[in-house]
Amino acid sequence: MQDASILIVGAGTWGASTALHLARRGYTNVTVLDAYPQPSAISAGNDVNKIVSFSESSCLHDDPDYANRTFFAALSHGFRHDPVFQPHFHETGAITSAVSPEALKHIHRRDRPGDAVIELNTPDDFRQAFPSGVLTGPLQGWKGYWKQRGAGWVHARHALLAAITEAQRLGVRFIGGDPEGKVVRLLFSPPSSATTPSAPPDVIGVETADGTHHHADRVILAAGANADHFLDFKNQLRPTAWTLAHIRLTAAEAAQYRNLPVLFNADQGFFMEPDADRHELKICDEHPGYCNWVRDPVSGERRSVPFARHQIPVEAEERIRGLLRATMPQLAERPLAFARICWCADTVDRNFLIDVHPEYKSLVLAVGASGRGFAHIPSIGGFVVDRMEGRLEGRLAEVVRWRAEAAVGRDWEDTLGRFGGEYRVMDFGEVQGWTNIGEI
Ligand SMILES: Cc1cc2nc3c(=O)[nH]c(=O)nc-3n(C[C@H](O)[C@H](O)[C@H](O)COP(=O)(O)OP(=O)(O)OC[C@H]3O[C@@H](n4cnc5c(N)ncnc54)[C@H](O)[C@@H]3O)c2cc1C
């Protein structure tokens, strides 16, 4: 079994994690295909930082949040103890905050004050959580919770590369780039014939853009927001994009802004300390996301189709500057050094989708990261391999299973518990203008 041929489509966050876990379990014939050289320019994980918060596992047998807690306990263990990931985690603490009553109610349910969580009720409370001279803005109406331990950020690109490098060291083959790594379609077994009358249909490999047919015993689809392109997911995935930008600081400023707690505001956006390599501060505006709607020529139904762009809508730039004016106005008018839209796939309930396809038994799905999948890079691949091997614990398998029935008549406009921006899922078709960073 360990010598079964396994193809992973996508060397992003979940594909890299899965490759690493397969190699650690002794699989010797694993190939990962990606449309880009590593780290992929469009991977949602190819980023300077991502928020991570730890949680312990649940000991309550009937805990309705059991699956979530189990996934979080696994990532917490990975960032604390796995030498591949531990160096990239920075335990700076994290503040979760909001201004609107709805968002405040939402974060209160998640981040109750208690052990090592301090309630912040006034702008001064926030300022005191930061080094002096950093939060100089008015922070009007901000309230939140400061988790001082067991939270912070991870250098995402470094963690992604560390997973890929370790998987390669253990023998996994990565093929990145267009055409040789770009998968254009899944290959299916021929329909049953007189010689194989009862063979059920299955996936037997993939075709890449150079025309090569890669056959495999198992195919693991981990193509993030683009997974929807390869298979009819019965509306279980909604490719949705978010927006991020960087501003450049001087070396002296970067030193002053080091070791900040993560500051997340559910209505306005978030940032962490600047990147040590380039002294760039990444800022995201928070919102329910953008879709790119097109009509399916066959069914007439609309689908959101991802596209890559290293620019953001001007309205997102304005929101990012709004967040800076509220928090660090001294930086609010700086030119943007970098920006991009970044895609992920939302499931109907924001639980992951990790399952063997109900019809194609050799196809494993590792998708639906729902805008919160990076933090799981140390551990998610282990759960994917558990599912492939048929030993994913029942309560977890139930939460992340193929659940087409839940997506029947799906409300594509569902904000899925997110706030900010226009407080609705926005449409790239309505965007008036884009930034032109680096184009002049
Ligand atoms: C702006 C933003 C901020 C975020 N912040 C956080 C955060 O703070 N904490 C957190 O936990 N999560 C965060 N997320 C979510 C997280 O980044 C994603 O959930 C996670 O990275 C998704 O991993 P993935 O492997 O599914 O997709 P990806 O990492 O996007 O990987 C998909 C891979 O598939 C490849 N691919 C696509 N098409 C093809 C093809 N045709 N052939 C071969 N390969 C292909 C791509 O090149 C890519 O490498 C954020 C997301 C965004 C957009």
Regarding the beta carbon of 19 and ligand 1, being less than 6 Å apart is answered no
pLDDT at 62: 78
CA angle at residue 59 from 54 to 63, to 5 degrees? Answer: 90
pTM of the model: 0.97
Averaged pLDDT for residues 313-334: 98
- The secondary structure of 124-140 as a DSSP string is HHHHHHS-TTT--S--T
Question: How far is 31 from 169, CA to CA, in rounded Å?
Answer: 13
Regarding the beta carbon of 242 and ligand 1, being less than 6 Å apart is answered yes
Taking CA atoms only, the protein residue closest to ligand 1 atom 15 is 371
3-class DSSP state of 238:
strand
The single residue listed with the structure tokens 């691949």 is 381
- Provide the token pair at 257: 């802004």
Domains and CATH numbers, the chain: 1-52+62-90+152-236+349-408 (3.50.50.60), 94-149+238-346+411-440 (3.30.9.10)
pLDDT at 304: 98
Question: How far is 17 from 384, CA to CA, in rounded Å?
Answer: 9
The per-residue pLDDT for range 5-58, each reduced to its tens digit, is: 999 999 999 999 999 999 999 999 999 999 999 999 999 999 999 999 998 887
Regarding the beta carbon of 374 and ligand 1, being less than 6 Å apart is answered yes
Q: Per-residue confidence at 440, pLDDT binned at 50, 70, 90?
A: low
Judge whether residue 193 has pLDDT over 70.
no
Ligand 1 center to 13 CA (angstroms) = 6
Judge whether residue 135 has pLDDT over 80.
yes
Q: Tell which one of 96, 226, 283 to mutate to probe ligand 1, the residue whose CB is within 8 A of the most ligand atoms.
A: 226
Judge whether residue 278 has pLDDT over 90.
yes
- The secondary structure of 93-116 as a DSSP string is -EEEEESSHHHHHHHHHHS-SBTT
pLDDT at 364: 99
Regarding the beta carbon of 222 and ligand 1, being less than 6 Å apart is answered yes
Q: Per-residue confidence at 410, pLDDT binned at 50, 70, 90?
A: very high
pLDDT at 196: 66
Ligand 1 center to 239 CA (angstroms) = 11
Percent of the chain surpassing pLDDT 90: 91
Ligand 1 center to 289 CA (angstroms) = 14
Exposure string (b/e) for 271-285, b if CB count within 10 Å is 16 or more?
bbbbbeeebbbbbbb
Atom of ligand 1 nearest to the CA of 46: 29
3-class DSSP state of 58:
coil
The per-residue pLDDT for range 104-121, each reduced to its tens digit, is: 999 987 666 566 799 999
Residue 109 · residue 80 · CB < 8 Å:
no
pLDDT at 299: 82
Question: How far is 276 from 251, CA to CA, in rounded Å?
Answer: 9
pLDDT at 195: 65
Q: Tell which one of 8, 9, 13, 233 to mutate to probe ligand 1, the residue whose CB is within 8 A of the most ligand atoms.
A: 13
Averaged pLDDT for residues 172-179: 98
Contacts of 55-63 with C-beta under 8 Å, sequence gap 24+, read 55/150
Regarding the beta carbon of 42 and ligand 1, being less than 6 Å apart is answered yes
Taking CA atoms only, the protein residue closest to ligand 1 atom 44 is 34
The residue type of 136 is T
pLDDT at 113: 59
Regarding the beta carbon of 206 and ligand 1, being less than 6 Å apart is answered no
Residue 424, sorted as left (phi over 0), alpha (psi -120 to 50) or beta, turns out to be: beta
The per-residue pLDDT for range 377-402, each reduced to its tens digit, is: 999 999 999 999 999 999 999 999 99
Atom of ligand 1 nearest to the CA of 33: 43
3-class DSSP state of 176:
strand
The per-residue pLDDT for range 347-361, each reduced to its tens digit, is: 999 999 999 999 999
Q: Per-residue confidence at 200, pLDDT binned at 50, 70, 90?
A: confident
Regarding the beta carbon of 11 and ligand 1, being less than 6 Å apart is answered yes
Percent of the chain surpassing pLDDT 70: 96
Mean pLDDT over each residue of the chain, to the nearest integer: 95
Taking CA atoms only, the protein residue closest to ligand 1 atom 43 is 34
Neighbours of 26 (CB within 10 A): 11
Q: Torsion over CA of 211, 304, 224 and 178, rounded to 10 degrees? A: 30
pLDDT at 57: 80
